[in-house]
Amino acid sequence: MTSDMRPLNSQKGQTCGVSDQACHSKSKNDNDGKPSRAKVNGVSSLSGSHNDEKFLKENSGACNLNSDHANSLSVDGVRVSIARSELIDNSDHDGCLHVKNESCMACDDLLQESDGEQHGGTLEDLFSFNDEEDDDSDWEPSARLALDRWFCLNCTVPNMEDFAHCQNCNELKGSAVVGYDAFKAHLAQAAFLSSDTALPSVSTAVGFDERMLLHSEIEIKPNPHPERPDRLRAIAASLAAAGIFPSKCVMVPPREITKEELLTAHTSDHIDSVEQTKNMLYSYFTSDTYANGHSACAAKLAAGICADLASLIVSGHARNGFAMVRPPGHHAGVKQAMGFCLHNNAAVAALAAQRAGAKKVLIVDWDVHHGNGTQEIFDGDNSVLYISLHRHEDGSFYPGTGAAHEVGVMDGQGFSVNIPWSRGGVGDNDYIFAFQHVVLPIAAEFAPDITIISAGFDAARGDPLGCCDVTPAGYSRMTSMLTACSQGKLLVILEGGYNLRSISSSATEVVKVLLGDNPIYHTGATEPSEEGIQTVLQVLSIQQQFWPVLVPSFASVLSLQRSVFSKYTSEGNKKRKHAGGAGPFWWKWGSKRLLYEVLFEGRCLRKIKDTCKEKSNDEAEP
């Protein structure tokens, strides 16, 4: 932990951290010009307009947004206010404010890393607006009003004051989550499931507890943290609006994980360091991994819910489950907290599943960031197969780990499978392609007793940190493909995802698949990108020595790569796909592509024409 820790009696004019808005005044736009609510595909309502109809259609069932909303909840007999996140939350990893060479670039140079971090960006990099390298005054509370800008409450991206809609997700300025009250009203009516329940196997169990909303950043900073309580509110509101909760699923009674259970994944020092945050107003493990007085409880609740869901699924009391939890966990390693993560929920769930009788556990991590903590915990364990699909870009994308050659150690060699994308903008086609040729063949050969998905939705379209292009349909298809791996025994655990519309619509589609609905299929092109083919081929060339079942896939993908190369060669003009399509007109100027086409290609064409004309004239002469 860093030394930036405040005791509870040093409040600096703030409350104790129970309210995630109490330390801040409302934005001046919160109550001005509130548009009326509109129906979004019959699933959720929002306040304000959203001009991108395609984005709305592909993210239907997303969070309900309104410009003024607050909830209340009772914790230990004390009634407190849980208002929408505004300025006290802040942001991590690599940002997507400036696009260069089709990759997400941080605004400023990376700050010096703390001892517990691996190389990669931090929140300061994402939202620093100063041009001078070492000037971080804009990050200080005293400079929070230095620039006229507002932060989108849907995706946390900063916008200049003149814009009425977010330039990243097109959300209306001042929008906030609504609809959570409808979910909360159903909590008292929900049926609870436990190992003592006399019912036969039920369909889908959901894990949630309102106390996890109390985990928020207390220190005043100029920009909202992307890992904020509204993430859970948005998903909960979407599930309620879709009619999924509580009529189609049951709840798991929440409980805090015990220290003895945590010791199977973490060191005693790590567990104690998280527990000590109960006595602090706020504290930081890394520059972007915060804690307040409620964070230790939230982290133990998240881990306890995941452990119990895994046990219930293995024992047959539930067919599958969805853990709607925070803080996330897959970056938390054996002895360190980082990347917004305190305890490793997926690792704790896997170990609980083994205690319940599972001999082999498959963890599929589709969060856009590599789950370095999960890989570390099971690096030498051949009873847990860890497969991760993530942006890597030769280690330049947070957290820098997860290269294809990281395959595990000792007995665990071959049981870490990393599929590292070489760029941003990766979408459904590449993910499905990787599933078909790498994930599913290995999973079928491994034959797990339970499959756990570290379901980060930050590879979703519109996410400010992931900058990729996976749609809710893509997530539903991947979920459906994994249901066959362990006879339907599937546990989905929420990890990252910082666009409220994207995570709520994607999570809703995933839960629908858990409930037995068919996945969504798009009728468009299904070919993977050239970069996707190259990444999968690299993984197959390494992993086939551990998994001979991949040899046919390697031959097939190699043949596909050659045909794609031949196609581009025959066309004579190899074109790199831009994420999300050809891109707007201004994108061509930004990449100098239009300038190249106009000046260079035009000059070459004129030269060729002149040469042909001269040759024709020469041949015509006697």
CATH label of the domain that carries residue 281:
3.40.800.20
331 part of the active site: yes
Q: What percent of the chain has pLDDT over 70?
A: 65
Question: How many degrees, rounded to 5, is the angle at CA 221 between CA 218 and CA 224?
Answer: 85
Question: Rounded to two decimals, what is the model's pTM?
Answer: 0.73
Q: Write out pLDDT tens, residues 346-377.
A: 999 999 999 999 999 999 999 999 999 999 99
Using CA atoms, how far residue 92 sits from 95, 136, 170, 173, 497, in Å, is 8, 16, 21, 22, 11
In whole angstroms, what is the distance from residue 480 CA to residue 485 CA? Answer: 10
**Residue 63 included in any domain:** no
The yes-or-no verdict on residue 21 having pLDDT over 60 is no
**Residue 35 included in any domain:** no
In whole angstroms, what is the distance from residue 379 CA to residue 384 CA? Answer: 9
**Residue 96 included in any domain:** no
**Residue 414 included in any domain:** yes
**Residue 495 included in any domain:** yes
Going along 392-484, which residue ranges are E strands?
Answer: 416-421, 450-455
Closest C-alpha to 207, from 110, 132, 58, 308: 308
Q: Which of 331, 343, 369, 370 is catalytic?
A: 331
The yes-or-no verdict on residue 207 having pLDDT over 60 is yes
Residue numbers of the domain that contains 329: 180-193+201-521+528-561
**Residue 599 included in any domain:** no
> Mean pLDDT for the chain?
77
Return the pLDDT at 94.
36
Q: Which long-range contacts (CB under 8 A, 24 or more apart) does 541-549 make?
A: 542/404, 542/405, 542/407, 543/407, 543/414, 543/417, 543/438, 543/442, 545/414, 546/407, 546/413, 546/414, 547/414, 547/441, 547/442, 547/445, 549/441, 549/442, 549/444, 549/445
Total count of domains within the chain: 1
Return the pLDDT at 86.
32
The alpha carbon of residue 445 and the mean position of all alpha carbons in its chain are separated, in whole angstroms, by 28
Q: Which has more confidence, 255 or 560? A: 255
In whole angstroms, what is the distance from residue 63 CA to residue 239 CA? Answer: 9
**Residue 582 included in any domain:** no
**Residue 128 included in any domain:** no
- How would residue 248 be classed by pLDDT, with cut points 50, 70 and 90? very high
Mean pLDDT lowest among 30-34, 268-272, 288-292, 452-456: 30-34
